[in-house]
Amino acid sequence: MLQQFIELSLLLIGLYALLTGKLPLAFGSNPTHRLGTRAARLVGLLFIAPFPMLLCAGVSLGLLGMPLEKASFIEPLLVLLIIIAAVAIIQKSKKTVDAMDDGTKETL
């Protein structure tokens, strides 16, 4: 049940990031951090990626005649790897907004 909740959350956050180019970084991060549009859309695409990948894996395993119960480790492992990759992309491409007079200057 928890795994399906995580996957549904990833899908909704991924769709939001892909469509708007924004990703909320409110989970324990500094409120002055921003993520660029390109990086947010890349993370959104990563968050959506488990669904087609797992569909292809399930169809492939079904065609090979392998029982899906034996391959149940693929799904949580794939979701974990995607979350780790997304966190790495977010950490690498965060921008800090300088506290200037108008607050519009961004630096890397």
pLDDT in tens, 66-99: 877 766 777 888 889 999 998 888 888 876 655 4
Q: Which two tokens stand for residue 103?
A: 């607050």
Looking at the predicted structure, is the pLDDT value of residue 55 above 50?
Answer: yes
Report yes or no on 52 lying in a domain: yes
Q: Count the Cβ atoms, other than its own, within 10 Å of residue 42.
A: 20
Calculate ∠ Cα 77-79-68, nearest 5°.
60
Report yes or no on 76 lying in a domain: yes
Report yes or no on 107 lying in a domain: no
Share the mean pLDDT of the chain.
Answer: 78
Question: Which pLDDT score is estimated for 15?
Answer: 92
Question: Which pLDDT score is estimated for 89?
Answer: 87
Tell whether pTM > 0.95. no
Residues 6+ apart with CB under 8 A from 99: 32
Report yes or no on 105 lying in a domain: no
Taking residues 43-51, what's their average pLDDT? 90
What ranges make up the beta strands (E) of the chain? 33-35, 94-97, 106-107
Report yes or no on 108 lying in a domain: no
Report yes or no on 69 lying in a domain: yes
Report yes or no on 24 lying in a domain: yes
Domain count, the chain: 1
The candidate with the shortest Cα–Cα distance to 48, out of 26, 18, 89, is 18
Q: Count the Cβ atoms, other than its own, within 10 Å of residue 43.
A: 24
Report yes or no on 26 lying in a domain: yes
Range of the domain at 68: 2-95
